[in-house]
Structures are given as C-alpha cells and as structure tokens.
Amino acid sequence: MHYPFFSGTASPGTRGPHPDGASAGTDGGFADPAAARLARLRQRMAWPSGGPEAVDATERGLDHEELLSLTRGDLIGAIEFGHIYPVFQPQISAQHGGIVGLEVLARWSDKGRHHAPDKFVGSITSHGVETLLLDHFLGACGRVRTRFPQYTGRFSLNVNPRTAAAAGFVQGFVRASMSHGLDIARVVLELTEQTRISRGSEARLLENLSALSARGMVISQDDFGSGYASLQALGLLPFKQVKVDKILLHRARHAERARRLFFSSMALARSLELQTVAEGVESPDDVTLARSLGADLLQGYAISPPMPFERLQL
Ligand code: C2E
Ligand code: CA
Ligand code: CA
C-alpha cells in the first residue's frame, strides 16, 4: 500500500474537481487487492462535471448501513477522490478578536448526501487510514497558507491517540508538513476521543507527542471534561492547549454549577500554563460568558461556521 504520508512522495496536491478544495485522486499507488474495488468506487462515486452541487440530491448516496460497512478501500478512495475533504473553522483571540487559528474538520459528500464526521471518522481510525487523511489535510493547509500569505495563525488537526501512538508517526508527520510547505510550529494536534490504550501505546504516544512538541507543534487536549479526556492525561502528555468540551459551556448558560465547572477547568488549565479554547460559542451571550470564564480563544457558530476552502476569508 502506498502512503504518501510515510513515503514522503506526497505532492502539494493539485486542485481536484471538488469545490471544497480537496485534492484530486490519482490512479497510482493502489497496487493492492483494493484496486478492483476502487475501480467500482470510481464509477459509483465520481462526481459528474460540475461537482457535487450538480448532483441530484435525491440520487442515492451512502446510507447508514453502507457507512457502517465501509472498507479500507472505500475510505482510501473517498479521500483520494476528494469526497472526504476539509472544512476550516476560525478560532479568534478572546482579547483582540483576530483570527489566530483554523480547525480543520472532515466532511464527506457523496452524491448529494453529506455525512457527519462522527459517522465515518471512527472507521478511518480503525482501518488505519488516518495518516492518509492527515496528509491530504496538511496539503489543504498548505494551500490556505499560499492563498492567504498574510495569515500567520495556526492550523489545528484532529487525531485519534491510537494513530498518534503508531511507530513512524513523527517522521511521517514531519515529512508530510515539509512536503506541503507547512512549518510544523504552525500545527496544533488536537487529541480527540481518549479511547483506552495499552500501556505500551501510552508510552509511545508520550514519546511521539514529546518529539513533535520539541519541534514546536502545539499538542491540544480536545473535549476536556468529557469521557476519557481526563485529568490523568493532562498530567501525562505534553499538552500546551486545552479545549473545554462545548457541552460544559452550553450547560454553563443556565446552571451555576456548570459555570463553576467550566471556570474551574479554565483555572486548572491556566495553573498548568496551558492555553484555553472555548468551543461551541453560538451566540453573543456565549462570547461574553466564555470570555468572563477565562477562555483565551473562542470558536463556534457565533464567530464562523466551518467553511470550505473556496469560501474561506482571512
Ligand atoms: P470536535 O473536534 O470537538 O469539533 C468541533 C465540532 O463542533 C465540529 O463538529 C464542529 O462543526 C462543531 N461546531 C462548531 N461550532 C459549533 C457551535 O457553535 N455549536 C455546536 N453545537 N457545534 C459547533 P463536526 O465537524 O461534526 O465534528 C465532530 C467531531 O468529529 C469533532 O469534534 C472531532 O472529534 C471529529 N472529527 C471531525 N473531523 C475530524 C478529523 O479530520 N479527524 C478526526 N480524528 N476527528 C475528526
Ligand atoms: Ca477538535
Ligand atoms: Ca471538541
């Protein structure tokens, strides 16, 4: 299997047929049993001329069952053909209001149907293709950098800890950022879903994140305050940023107890000298609340929805 991420042969990516800025697929690199399946995929999934907007929205796309039974080849095809593509959501400074970051989020459009990332991102991780997705997204970040040379902020990419703990992850990531002309010090790696990982993986995760952090990458704890995004991880891994789970902010609108929880999370992060991000900021009241509770950065619909490359204004 050919992985540009690890082989260092990734090109900066030519603009693909997809209006969301994902790169075009190539025929090369699939010299494995998935090739036949990919050929079928090409027929089933290729956009007609005019891109996805030109597709009849009633035409059948992937349904729930199909999403559940996705194979590795399906996912690779969808990434390579640009059906899975990045959107960018700005993060602003709570102090001066300028855009200081862009979170890259995955979208999948298939024949007029749009699939939420929580429906397919798990499969991307479990089939071991998250590095391929990251490679494509780093390429898209490189294009944003080229299009908006005046933008000096960071690019936040989501990654599952299992992927980040893999052998070769650091070298692959460094190589991919370089090949896309992106300074690794401008990358934030948001660790999502803190699935329980083995002790061995935990040690490798620490090793990998420490190596990336030493190169200037910002490691961020996503969804802090939910599930496994725990205090324990905060003590163990070299985080420089914490994103407090949006549910906490939403509850803090109405409940004093939740407000205190949110505030305490911020205070804890500050005491560890971590930058804090409030996500899910949906209204001017949320902006006021998140600022009063001590967030350094704000992200959410009140500021901007996630936007495809074409609609991005920086
Ligand atoms: P997340 O990393 O916590 O991303 C924030 C989610 O909140 C995004 O949902 C975003 O579209 C949504 N959001 C943004 N502003 C607001 C707001 O004001 N209010 C509310 N209620 N929601 C807001 P999305 O794009 O559906 O992504 C869901 C989750 O899927 C992400 O949560 C992340 O965990 C995962 N995900 C998305 N893209 C990727 C990816 O490329 N790689 C990995 N590993 N995970 C991804
Ligand atoms: Ca995130
Ligand atoms: Ca989050």
Contact criterion met (CB below 8 Å) for 224 and 244:
yes
> 83-311: which CATH architecture?
Alpha-Beta Barrel (3.20)
| Mean pLDDT of all residues belonging to the chain | 82
* Nearest Cα residue to atom 17 of ligand 1: 280
Helix H or strand E encompassing 198: none
Contact criterion met (CB below 8 Å) for 240 and 213:
yes
What's the one-letter identity of residue 169?
Answer: F
Tokens of 76: 């690779």
Query: Is 113 a residue whose pLDDT tops 60?
Result: yes
Nearest to 213 by CA among 182, 231, 235, 239: 239
Q: Which residue has the higher pLDDT, 232 or 11?
A: 232
Calculate what percentage of the chain has a pLDDT beyond 90: 67
Q: Which residue has the higher pLDDT, 118 or 306?
A: 306
Residue 3: pLDDT band by 50, 70, 90 thresholds?
Answer: very low
Residue 228: pLDDT band by 50, 70, 90 thresholds?
Answer: low
What's the one-letter identity of residue 78?
Answer: A
Atom of ligand 1 nearest to the CA of 87: 25
* Nearest Cα residue to atom 42 of ligand 1: 158
> For the ranges 28-37, 61-70, 227-236, 265-274, which has the lowest average pLDDT?
28-37
Contact criterion met (CB below 8 Å) for 110 and 162:
no
Nearest to 176 by CA among 131, 206, 127: 131
Query: Is 249 a residue whose pLDDT tops 90?
Result: yes
Query: Is 60 a residue whose pLDDT tops 90?
Result: no
> Does residue 131 have its Cβ closer than 6 Å to ligand 1?
no
> Does residue 158 have its Cβ closer than 6 Å to ligand 1?
yes
> Does residue 247 have its Cβ closer than 6 Å to ligand 1?
no
Model-level pTM?
0.84
Quote the DSSP letter at residue 184: G
